[in-house]
Amino acid sequence: MTTEKNKKSIGKRILKWVVSIFLILIIALVSIPFLFKDKIVQMVTNTVNNNINATVTFKETDLSLFTNFPLASLTVSDIAVTNKAPFLGDTLYSAKELSFSMKITELLKKADEVIELKSIATKNGQVNIIFNEKNVGNYDIAIAKEETNTTTTNNSFSFDIQEYELENMKFVYLDRSTNLKLHLNDINHIGKGNFAQDILDLDTKSTANLSLDVDSVNYLSNVAISLDAVLGIDLKNSKYTFKDNTGFINQLPLEFDGFIQLVDENQLYDINFKTPTSEFKNLLALLPKQYSGNLDAIKTEGNFDLKGSVNGILSTERIPAFDITFSSKNAMFKYDDLPKAVKNINIDAQIINKTGNTDDTYVNVNQLNFKIDEDAFSANGNIANLTTNPKVNLAAKGNINLANINKAYPLKLEQELAGILKADVTTSFDMNAIEKGNYQNIKNTGTIAVSDFKYDGKDVANPFYITKTAITFNTNTIKLNEFDAKTGSSDIAIDGNLNNFYGFLFNDEVLKGNFNLKSNTFKVSDFLAESSAEEQTTKTSALKIPAFLDCTFNADAKKVVYDNINLSNVSGVIYVKDEAVNLKNLKSDVFGGKIGFDGNVSTKGNTSTFALDLKLDKINITESFSALDMLKAIAPIASTIGGNINSTISLSGNLNEDMTPNLKTITGELFGKLLDPKLNTSNSKVLSLLGSKVSFLDPNQLNLDGINAFLSFDNGIVNIKPIPLKYKDVGIEISGNHSFDNVMNYNVVFDVPVKYLGTEVTNLIAKLNPKDAAEIKSIPVKANLTGSFTSPTIATNIQDATASLVKNLVERQKQSLINSGKDKLTDLLGLGKDKKDSTNTATPPTNKDATKDKIKDVLGGLFGNKKKDTVKKENQ
């Protein structure tokens, strides 16, 4: 029993001891990082200050015993290494995390002792290697040994690395002297090996996407590359040898052998590479996967071999010699899901440098040919002096049925191609000739022709058919011999010369040309695709005329249809230059007459503008002013006038995003002369109102023939200078203004003959002496038209004008008969008793009352009211 109790007691004590030890270890693992963190930070700072001539910043450090247990892990967050002069402000290295691992015992060393690191890892960062115009690199930031303080330890860390890792990193190589830019994106790389040994094998796995730009020209774009390789490393001799390895460019496999060795300050290369197989599929594997299609569903015959060698020294003066060849003989390929095959493929091409002098690099394409059905195509050429003054010699010849391309190769096209391409061209030039504008040194000959070409895409309103087109190449000039095309109900034919093509292509110069454009029917809507609702919602900018065009078009079209307007016999010159279209002597038959255009439309700047001079010759007034919104806004009442007009119009302003005039910004003038005009008052509420309010005026009988009108418009207001009108023996003058939003304010002055004012007024005038009577022929009556053209109102001073006349007549009679006695004056005005009815005892009216009655009678007559019988009141 005692023994059993002792056993239980010992077991409990062991358990307590184990638990206690475990707790102590846990506490130690948690607390040790806090105890040593400050020392580690100081050691990192000392290493940076003693060894690096750059600015290093980081957010914080974290020391953990759990991440890589049993190793301790040090993580530096948001670290950046920024260059000093001459690369001030450039970042050499930055990362979200930089991590080191070490033995836990290394933490127990003193601050002045060296800590050995076992691994390094960095993630989510970027390395930028930059060479400036003087060929100085930004990566040389190590402080020279003689510049350091020899009394102190340079490094707080030493490297006993067995593993390193790059995760989601970017690498940028920029040579500003040659404008070369190389990008490696999405780098993931792991390397494992015992760096404590002088000779070791480093096992690596790498993936990345490669892009290459030279002098702003993109040669490679996100090409997927990978390499799984065992590298033999000889640290004493700085030699790195390829052992077991397989690399891929996109899907093309490559194998490497040989070595790279650092010799003094140079690098010695002795490398060979090749495709492990000779299947023709290897060529298609060079293309990005999205363009090569499913390589597992393809049948191939023949071979494709890629092999190369790089041998020699890489220094500041030389490059290694290299020879890279691409070859294929009598090959073919056919995708299982496509009906056509590409056959008789022969390729013989090389990229070579035999001397190590960069100027001696050249490319040879000795042979490139293939067939699809019976269509054969071939090309050959070479490019020499790649790094100084590239000299290009190329030739191409063959026929291609464009419809067969998509039937033999899995191109992802929104619309199928159709048409026959025929080419037979050669070219020979050097880049210096292009850069210096010596285009006469370019030697081009040959033709390219396309027939029965069809294009149908979302960016065109109707399918576009090119019946035939042919181009001839000459020095500095490309001649468009013919271009016949149809779309919708429209047809166009173009020929002419395209000048300065090579300056445009290589030197960003403007593209110049002179063309003749002819058409039997040109319907503008056939060329304008309607935008979707989504495109209209997201539209942010208006149409822009390309800045690179400097072209002249001599236009001749029998019929042009724009919206609801039919133009006939359109001819003139159209200049496209400096983001503007200039019109010169553009003429057309329209609206029963002729119209001429001069002016321009410019899309330069933030707001597009226009300025036009128009000449209208015997244009139908009703048709033109009803069909053209701009003319309708300038003269709304013109749509009620039949007949023709001769007119000159000058106007300018801004354009809306849909290239229609912004009416509020228009300024200009219009001068017009009416020819055989006829009014139709039923179409105008303004004229109808005048006719109903003024009894003696019948607007339909207004004589407008030969009338001249002068209008000016600015800030949305149209001002009309006084226009004299003819109506029988009544003089009329109209002036005023209206706005483009239909608000008017017009003054109409009538010179009304007194005969229209009624018998009372004419009787008064008859009783004047002949001299006074002759002076009173008419009176001016003013009317004011306001409101809108659809809802007008009229006000007139006819009552005041007539009252003033009657008063004037009475006053004249008073003055002329003042010496004749009161009775004669009374008889003249008819204000006395009725001599025929002496028994009438009614109270005689006063002079004032009689005058009022006469005015009322006159107003009634003038405004067309029926007279009422006067009821005489008898005295009771």
In b/e form, how buried is each residue of 669-706, taking b as 16+ CB within 10 angstroms? Answer: ebebbbbebebebeebbbbebbbebbebbebeebebee
Q: pLDDT tens digit string along 484-495?
A: 999 889 999 999
Taking alpha carbons only, the member of 722, 709, 638 closest to residue 680 is: 638
Neighbours of 264 (CB within 10 A): 9
CB 640 within 8 A of CB 683: yes
pTM above 0.95, yes or no: no
Q: What is residue 67's predicted lDDT score, i.e. its pLDDT?
A: 67
d(CA 83, CA 86): 8
CB 702 within 8 A of CB 725: yes
CA 700 to chain centre: 54
Q: What percent of the chain has pLDDT over 90?
A: 28
d(CA 613, CA 597): 6
Contacts made by residues 35-42, CB under 8 angstroms, sequence distance 24+? 36/63, 36/107, 37/61, 37/63, 39/111, 40/74, 40/107, 42/111
Domain residue spans of the chain: 542-726, 742-876
Q: What is residue 116's predicted lDDT score, i.e. its pLDDT?
A: 76
**CA quadruple 332, 218, 122, 77: dihedral sign:** negative
Lowest-confidence segment of 106-115, 371-380, 814-823 by average pLDDT: 814-823
Phi-psi region of 803 (alpha: psi -120 to 50; beta: other; left: phi over 0): alpha
Taking alpha carbons only, the member of 575, 451, 422, 434 closest to residue 502 is: 434
Q: What is residue 835's predicted lDDT score, i.e. its pLDDT?
A: 42
d(CA 749, CA 747): 7
Q: pLDDT tens digit string along 177-222?
A: 778 888 999 999 999 988 778 898 999 999 999 988 877 767 777 8
Vertex 24 angle, CA 23 and 28, to 5°: 115
Q: pLDDT tens digit string along 406-443?
A: 889 887 776 777 899 999 999 898 888 877 777 778 88
CB 687 within 8 A of CB 680: no
CB 325 within 8 A of CB 284: no
List the structure tokens of 629: 């919104």
Q: What is residue 820's predicted lDDT score, i.e. its pLDDT?
A: 55
CB 375 within 8 A of CB 408: no
Q: What is residue 869's predicted lDDT score, i.e. its pLDDT?
A: 38
Taking alpha carbons only, the member of 218, 245, 217 closest to residue 231 is: 245
CB 634 within 8 A of CB 650: no
pLDDT at 69 over 70: no
3-state SS assignment for residue 163: strand
d(CA 587, CA 567): 9
**pLDDT range class, residue 9, cuts 50, 70, 90:** low
Q: What single string gives the DSSP state of each residue in 57-119?
A: E-SEEEEEEEEETTEEEEEEEEEEEE--TTSTT-EEEEEEEEEEEEEGGGGGS-TTSPEEEEE
List the structure tokens of 761: 């007024």
Mean pLDDT of 724-751: 87
CB 400 within 8 A of CB 421: yes
d(CA 249, CA 729): 97
Q: pLDDT tens digit string along 276-308?
A: 888 888 888 877 777 777 888 889 999 999 999
CB 71 within 8 A of CB 103: yes
**pLDDT range class, residue 26, cuts 50, 70, 90:** very low
The DSSP output letter for 687 is H
Lowest-confidence segment of 359-373, 497-511, 581-595 by average pLDDT: 497-511
d(CA 828, CA 842): 20
CB 340 within 8 A of CB 404: yes
Q: pLDDT tens digit string along 678-715?
A: 877 777 788 888 777 777 777 877 878 888 889 998 88
- Bridge partners (DSSP) of residue 567 are 560
CB 255 within 8 A of CB 271: no
Q: What is residue 42's predicted lDDT score, i.e. its pLDDT?
A: 64
Neighbours of 787 (CB within 10 A): 16
CB 469 within 8 A of CB 480: yes
User: What average pLDDT does the structure give for the chain?
Assistant: 80
d(CA 820, CA 433): 112
Q: What is residue 829's predicted lDDT score, i.e. its pLDDT?
A: 46
Query: Which residues are CB-neighbours of 291 under 8 A, at least 6 positions away?
Result: 412
d(CA 591, CA 626): 11
Helix (H) or strand (E) holding 551: strand 549-562
Mean pLDDT of 352-373: 92
CB 620 within 8 A of CB 592: yes
Mean pLDDT of 42-66: 73
Q: What is residue 736's predicted lDDT score, i.e. its pLDDT?
A: 92
In angstroms, the first-to-last Cα distance of the chain is 161
Mean pLDDT of 813-841: 50
pLDDT at 11 over 80: no
Q: What is residue 825's predicted lDDT score, i.e. its pLDDT?
A: 44
**pLDDT range class, residue 721, cuts 50, 70, 90:** very high
d(CA 128, CA 54): 14
Lowest-confidence segment of 645-659, 693-707, 854-868 by average pLDDT: 854-868
d(CA 538, CA 667): 31
Q: What is residue 552's predicted lDDT score, i.e. its pLDDT?
A: 93
Phi, psi at residue 482, to the nearest 5°?
Answer: -160, 150
Q: What is residue 541's predicted lDDT score, i.e. its pLDDT?
A: 45
d(CA 765, CA 181): 103
**pLDDT range class, residue 71, cuts 50, 70, 90:** confident
Residues shown for the chain = 876
Q: pLDDT tens digit string along 777-798?
A: 888 888 898 888 888 888 888 7
d(CA 572, CA 554): 6
Mean pLDDT of 391-404: 92
pLDDT at 735 over 80: yes
Q: Which amino acid is at 330?
A: N
pLDDT at 244 over 70: yes
d(CA 378, CA 344): 11
Query: Which residues are CB-neighbours of 485 under 8 A, at least 6 positions away?
Result: 464, 465, 466, 467, 469, 491, 492, 493
**pLDDT range class, residue 149, cuts 50, 70, 90:** very low
The DSSP output letter for 865 is P
pLDDT at 853 over 60: no
Lowest-confidence segment of 321-330, 557-566, 714-723 by average pLDDT: 557-566
Instruction: Report the chain's C-alpha Rg in angstroms.
Output: 49
Lowest-confidence segment of 51-65, 633-647, 810-824 by average pLDDT: 810-824
Q: Which amino acid is at 63?
A: L
- DSSP-derived pairing of the beta strands 549-562 and 522-523: parallel
